[in-house]
Amino acid sequence: MTRVLHIALAQDWAAAVAAGSYSISTRGVTLEQEGFIHCSTPAQAVGVYQRFYADLPAGELRLLVVDEQLCAQQGTEMRWDDVPGADQPFPHFYGPIPTAAVVAVLEFTGPQVPEVS
């Protein structure tokens, strides 16, 4: 079972819980605008935090732990895509992430990624 991470704004995650699925690609960009939802491995999440979220105050971020298999069972495909300037491909979901496929939600203050199982 592959688990990948997504850094989310707390307010975006709260809206997703109410809606039943998460559709934000990255900070300020929707799935509809981007075409996929950006995710990362634990090793990649540190850089993502530093590049896009480090300016936010503590308490505004959530680290979503997403189970790829649960997403696939509900019709959302994950692909590993090459990203210009990155050493390794990044995981991207090509559809909304069902909230039932998010197996853990952690408050995230960065820059270190907490242990996820």
Encoded amino acid at 31, one letter: L
Tell me the residue type at 50: Q
Q: Calculate ∠ Cα 11-45-117, nearest 5°.
A: 90
The one-letter code for the residue type at 65 is V
Dihedral, 55, 58, 62, 63 alpha carbons, nearest 10: 80
84: tokens are 């210009």
Which option is the CATH number for 3-107: 3.20.170.20, 3.40.50.970, 3.40.50.2300, 3.20.20.120?
Answer: 3.20.170.20
Mean pLDDT value of segment 68-77: 96
Q: SS3 of 91, please?
A: strand
Q: How many whole angstroms separate alpha carbon 14 and alpha carbon 79?
A: 26
**Which residue has better confidence, 87 or 30?**
30
Residue type, 57: P
92-102: average pLDDT: 98
What stretches of 56-101 adopt beta strand conformation (E)?
61-67, 78-81, 90-93, 97-98
Q: Would you state the pLDDT for residue 117?
A: 63
State the pLDDT at residue 74.
95
Angle at 92 between CA 86 and CA 95, to 5 degrees: 160
Task: Tell me which of 18-22, 65-69, 91-95, 109-113 is least confident.
Answer: 109-113
The b-or-e profile of 49-76 (16+ CB within 10 A means b, else e) is beeebeebeeeebbbbbbbbebbeeeeb
